[in-house]
Amino acid sequence: MPLEFFLLLAAALFCIGIYGLVTSRNAVRVLMSVELLLNAVNLNLVSFSNYLDGQNIRGQVFTVFVITVAAAEAAVGLAIILAIYRSRDTIDMEQFNLLKW
């Protein structure tokens, strides 16, 4: 498989993630879309580290860092969603306009 195949795959996953991030109304689904975006970036990094930097795999090191940050982001994001749900009693993204104007 050439490198381009994996890059196209990661690009497709990234675009699906952006679509879900913009259009979904459930706040938990927004977090899932963010996870899709981070996974697309990870796939890019790993394929670059395999094809372009095969001797000292620095892309995989960066992937481990991205996985760490993604785990932290998921925990804090779900805590924020829980707090918003308690105070506003909904998880509809259309009504989270607290800081909008």
Partner 1 sequence: MNLAEGIRFVCTILLSVMMIGAALGVVLFENIVYSAFTLAGVFMSIAGLYILLNADFVSAAQVLVYVGAVNVLILFAIMLVNKREDFKPVPRRWVRKGSAALVCAGVFALLATMVVKTSWPTDLSLVPPVSAVELIGEHFFSDYLLPFEIASILLLMALVGAIVIARRESIVGEETALVGETPPPVLELPERPREPVA
Site residues for partner 1, 3-62, by CB under 8 A, read 3-9, 11-20, 22-29, 31-33, 35-36, 39, 42-43, 46-47, 49-52, 54-58, 60-61
Applying the rule CB under 8 A, the residues between 69 and 98 that interact with partner 1 are 69-76, 78-83, 85-92, 94, 98
Half-sphere exposure of 11 (CA within 13 A, CB side): 6
Number of residues that bind partner 1 (CB under 8 A): 77
Q: How far is the CB of 35 from partner 1 (least distance, A)?
A: 6
d(CA 99, CA 69): 25
What single string gives the DSSP state of each residue in 12-34? HHHHHHHHHHHH--BHHHHHHHH
